[in-house]
Structure 1
Amino acid sequence: MFETITIETDARGVATLTLNRPEKHNAMSGKMLEELTSAALQLGQDDSVRVVILTGEGKSFCAGGDLGWMRAQRDMDPETRGKEARKLAEMLQALNTLPKPLIGRVQGNAFGGGVGMASVCDVAVGADHLTMGLTETRLGLIPATIGPYVLSRMGEAMARRVFMSARLFKAPEAVTLGLLARIVPSNDLDAAVEAEVLPYLSVAPGAVASAKALTRALGPKIDDEIIDMTIQALVSRWESDEAEEGIGAFFDKRKPSWA
């Protein structure tokens, strides 16, 4: 059914949603974004599913945007770029509003959109060796469509430490920033995730869904107006001279003019 992700559900109703492009470090393509959105809707409507675990196959959780997808966007007009940005925004919102507990099993590095995906999890547990980073400004772009979820997770003060600088940070700092609830050695990751899953198997699924919806209603607003604003902000950056230089330098394997 899916080409870029897999879903496996055990007898308890614990579904594991896995990004399945290990050869690309689970980088997000337009196809993957569409499939993740579809999967979130499918899992949300499945009464047999009690908990969803989000993880990645291979060494990386998610390396951000797929290079081929980004290269294609260089030649798009603003309207088409906006449609591609909306795919990411809709995927994140679908996972963020999933009426099931979403547990992140972050087994490897996460950059850009991968940080956004960790941010929409209700709780994320990470391997202690991983590296994370919001790397968009290296390309002259900004972490726009993922921004509302990253800010909601970190808070503005914490986000300012890493949102604009594109610096990479290790697992312990990811905990300090609020992206990860805790970190454990890789060999202990499954057990740590299982510890997060178990409480949900003894509580009322409908009450969990209602409680989750309430937390979102009481938390920072992420509605159509906010999403549209972030999409427009990203499209505007794509049109900038800095984006042309930064993305060109990246594909040419050279330093951009400002480095």
Structure 2
Amino acid sequence: MPPVHAARATGVATLTLDSPANRNALSADLVAALRAALAAASADPEVRAVVLTHTGTTFCAGADLKSPCDPADFLALLREIAELPKPVVARVTGHVRAGGLGLLGVCDIAAAGPESTYAFTETHLGLAPAVISIPLLPRLDPRAAARYFLTAEAFDAAEATRIGLLTLHAEDGDVDKALEPVLAGLRKAAPQALAATKSLTAASVREAVARDGARLTGLSAGLFASDEAREGITARFERRSPSWVL
């Protein structure tokens, strides 16, 4: 089965991450499929907006540690979402970890239910949230970003909304109801106006991609190849603490 499914209804293209074997992790196959689906939605004149959602209890588990995508390909995905001339709306009803937070953060609007949780787990694996910092740092509260990037603590949807990761927190659990006025507004908007307005609201993210993308993909690749990362990833698979834990 393909890792991404696409459907269209009343001006909205819904792209669903569906790779249950690895909890929708960012494998080379999933990233390639998502890029292709986004390109198709971008080229479709009947599409006003894109909704990015998922099957299962995890929106995206981050990098596929068994078969990670090339950091440059992930950067290209983030760039393409930021530069897409149509708004991308994240619909989250499950957990989001590590690289998945970059995917969530680059979306123009993000809504989630109370059962969702979030964590930047990279430092516990010997890594850093390098590439994903590009769309996130322009949008997150700086103090909160420093705390959660460094400590890898998990936090809930209410906190994610407070720090700027989410636009909407559907406290009653009905994410679709929370998104109804959002999608209704986007359906009424003129395509040219949407593209021009998104270029304003996503300008800081686009600038960060152009300025920092090459440097941070290099940092990510170097960290993945390091001894610490090998130990951290091995420890995760062996369900033990890495050697550095005090």
Q: What range is the shorter-chain TM-score in?
A: over 0.9
State the partner residue of 2:25: 27
Query: Structure 1 115/34 Cα, relative in aligned 2: closer, same or farther at 3 Å?
Result: same
Shift of 1:4: 0.6
- Give the 3-state SS of the residue equivalent to 2:25 in structure 1: coil
Q: Partners of 1:187 and 1:241 in 2: how far apart?
A: 42
| TM-score normalised to structure 2 length | 0.93
Q: Partners of 1:200 and 1:224 in 2: how far apart?
A: 27
- With 21-30 and 129-138 compared, the bigger mean Cα shift is at 21-30
Shift of 1:255: 0.8
- Give the 3-state SS of the residue equivalent to 1:6 in structure 2: strand
Structure 2 contact 82–205 (Cα < 8 Å) conserved: no
Shift of 1:230: 0.7
**How many corresponding residue pairs?**
245
State the partner residue of 1:79: none
Query: Structure 1 243/223 Cα, relative in aligned 2: closer, same or farther at 3 Å?
Result: same
Say whether residues 1:205 and 2:191 are aligned partners: yes
State the partner residue of 2:176: 190
Shift of 1:240: 2.6
- With 116-125 and 223-232 compared, the bigger mean Cα shift is at 223-232
Query: Structure 1 97/146 Cα, relative in aligned 2: closer, same or farther at 3 Å?
Result: same
State the partner residue of 1:256: 242
Structure 1 contact 107–186 (Cα < 8 Å) conserved: no
Q: Partners of 1:218 and 1:115 in 2: how far apart?
A: 17
State the partner residue of 1:39: 37
State the partner residue of 1:58: 56
Gaps of at least 5 residues in structure 2 are none
Residue 222 (structure 1) aligned to one of 189, 208, 228: 208
Q: Partners of 2:94 and 2:15 in 1: how far apart?
A: 15
Which of structure 1's runs of 4+ aligned residues deviate more than 4 A?
Answer: none
Q: Partners of 2:174 and 2:47 in 1: how far apart?
A: 24
State the partner residue of 2:3: 4
Query: Identity rate of aligned residues, in percent?
Result: 36
Query: Structure 1 182/85 Cα, relative in aligned 2: closer, same or farther at 3 Å?
Result: same
Shift of 1:153: 2.1
Q: Partners of 1:117 and 1:46 in 2: how far apart?
A: 22
Q: Residue type matched to 1:126 in 2?
A: A
Q: Partners of 2:153 and 2:14 in 1: how far apart?
A: 31
Shift of 1:218: 5.3
Q: Residue type matched to 2:40 in 1?
A: Q
Q: Partners of 1:193 and 1:88 in 2: how far apart?
A: 27
Say whether residues 1:17 and 2:3 are aligned partners: no
Shift of 1:184: 1.5
Q: Residue type matched to 2:146 in 1?
A: R
Q: Partners of 2:4 and 2:107 in 1: how far apart?
A: 17
Gaps of at least 5 residues in structure 1 are 71-82
Q: Partners of 2:38 and 2:13 in 1: how far apart?
A: 11
- Give the 3-state SS of the residue equivalent to 1:234 in structure 2: helix
